[in-house]
Amino acid sequence: MKTIVVYTSQTGFTRRYAGWLAEKTGADLKDLSEAKKMDFGGYDAIVYGGWACAGNISKLSWFKGNLAKWEGKKLAVFCVGGSPMESPDIQPALHKLFTEEEQKKVGIFYCPGGFDYEKMSAPSRMMMKMFIKALKAKKDKTPDDEEMIRMISGSYDISDPKYIEPIISYLAGEVQ
Ligand SMILES: Cc1cc2nc3c(=O)[nH]c(=O)nc-3n(C[C@H](O)[C@H](O)[C@H](O)COP(=O)(O)O)c2cc1C
């Protein structure tokens, strides 16, 4: 099965997961800017990885915009975010980004990445600063809120190659 992994990454976590996936599956690996110029006709499977941004997946519109063209191919999306794998909000939030029809055609996965404030763009850093400020100002903060403030106030890395295993199984046709 000829597979390609396309990714968008700002600070490197999604690129790292895409690289692990390509290495493990023997897939081609392309940054979205290069992939946009390509013809995907020769691929049996297309995987797109984008980072979580305010409840969305960066550049998911590119992937969705091509779905009709990719009828019959094995398709998957993985989202890399700062939330830990155990976070209960992840799966419902991710599935909300896809229609029921799209969910039948696309395998949807999450991989925890982290935060790297040194590599982050100035606008992203500013958005995070505002988000943390709003969270700190919240009345009746839950323990989860407190934990989130503590976590996202500095850089951290919770990425691990073990999180690509479900994507590999899906591509191999074992589970969805
Ligand atoms: C502006 C902004 C919004 C973000 N929103 C989310 C989010 O909604 N959920 C989440 O889990 N992580 C969120 N993150 C964290 C990133 O998805 C995380 O740092 C990810 O590992 C970045 O991937 P990259 O290194 O490939 O750019 C956000 C980060 C920024 C800068």
Q: What is the pLDDT of residues 26-67, one digit of tens each?
A: 999 999 999 999 999 999 999 999 999 999 999 999 999 999
Ligand 1, closest atom to CA 52? 17
Q: How confident is the model at residue 175 (pLDDT cuts 50, 70, 90)?
A: low
CA–CA distances in Å: residue 57 to residues 50, 138, 141, 170: 6, 26, 27, 20
Give the predicted TM-score (pTM) of the model.
0.96
* Token code pair at residue 74: 């094995």
Ligand 1, closest atom to CA 13? 25
By the 8 A CB rule, do 113 and 81 touch?
yes
Ligand 1, closest atom to CA 113? 21
**Which single residue is written with the structure tokens 């909000």?**
89
- The neighbouring-strand residues paired with 8 are none
Output the ligand 1 site: residues, CB below 6 A.
Answer: 9-14, 51-55, 80-83, 113-115, 120, 124, 127-128
Determine the distance separating the centroid of ligand 1 and the alpha carbon of 89, expressed in angstroms.
14
- What pLDDT is recorded for position 156? 98
Q: What is the pLDDT of residues 86-141, one digit of tens each?
A: 999 999 999 999 999 999 999 999 999 999 999 999 999 999 999 999 999 999 99
Q: How confident is the model at residue 174 (pLDDT cuts 50, 70, 90)?
A: confident
